[in-house]
Structure 1
Amino acid sequence: MSTSLDFIEYVCEQIAGVGQIRYRKMFGEYMVYVNNKPILLVCDDTVFVKLLPCLDEVMRDAEKGIPYKGAKEHYILDIDNASLCKEVIAILEPITAVPKPRKKKQ
């Protein structure tokens, strides 16, 4: 089951106000970008964030899961808790790099 467009739009509504938000369909699922930085991975209508030490305290009670086959374990973010989502993004956004543009094939 892949993520529905309604769900990805709900995710974006829940985090409104944290910066410039956009999403991109990738490998049948979605990546949510905040200020052009990849912050949230959305797979099968579930929101994932990387397991990083800076999130250990705020995500201590969160479930963990594998977003897709071959991926590392991630935290599962409770997207219905808008204040938690915004807190997680406030922690991740400053330490996440903007991806480098890919070179075009000639």
Structure 2
Amino acid sequence: MIFCSISWPNCIPPQQKKMFGEYCLYLDGKPVGLVCDDLLFLKPTKGGRALLSDIVEASPYPKARPHLQIDPDAWEDSDWLCELIVATAKGLPIPKPKKAKQPPTA
């Protein structure tokens, strides 16, 4: 995955978890975006939009809500990309805790 090769000298990199053959990015326990087909999609937030000069919205996969598609050429600026991901995370609510799985009843 191309996104993995980015160096993050000035910030904590987002966690990357493989999902459905693609990757979900998490920061502070919040899902902030997806990497699908080597394209970066971030959840749309006011903070994220404020840092983008050209806003491109696209769906990362069929029937998905539109996300902010980040141009791969912009990935080279790791400081800006870090700022964008942090701003996105700050604009998202804290995820609800998952319920414990109930044992199957017979």
Work out whether the TM-score is over 0.5. yes
User: TM-score if structure 2 supplies the norm length?
Assistant: 0.72
How many residues of Structure 1 are paired with residues of Structure 2 in the alignment? 99
Aligned-residue identity in percent: 29
Q: Does 1:99 align with 2:95?
A: yes
Q: Which amino acid aligns with 1:7?
A: I
1:37 to 30, 38, 41: 30
Q: 5 Å matches for 1:14-93? A: 14-15=7-8, 17-19=10-12, 21-78=14-71, 79-93=75-89
Gaps of 5+ in 2: none
Contact persistence 1:39–1:93 (CA under 8 A): yes
Q: Which amino acid aligns with 1:89?
A: I
* Structure of higher CA gyration radius: 2
| Matching residue of 1:3 | none
Q: Which amino acid aligns with 1:70?
A: K
Question: CA shift at 1:82, angstroms?
Answer: 1.7
2:2 to 7, 14, 38: 7
Deviations 1:5-27 (A, max 9, x none): x32422xx344543363211112
Contact persistence 2:30–2:89 (CA under 8 A): yes
SS of the counterpart of 1:30?
strand
Gaps of 5+ in 1: 1-5
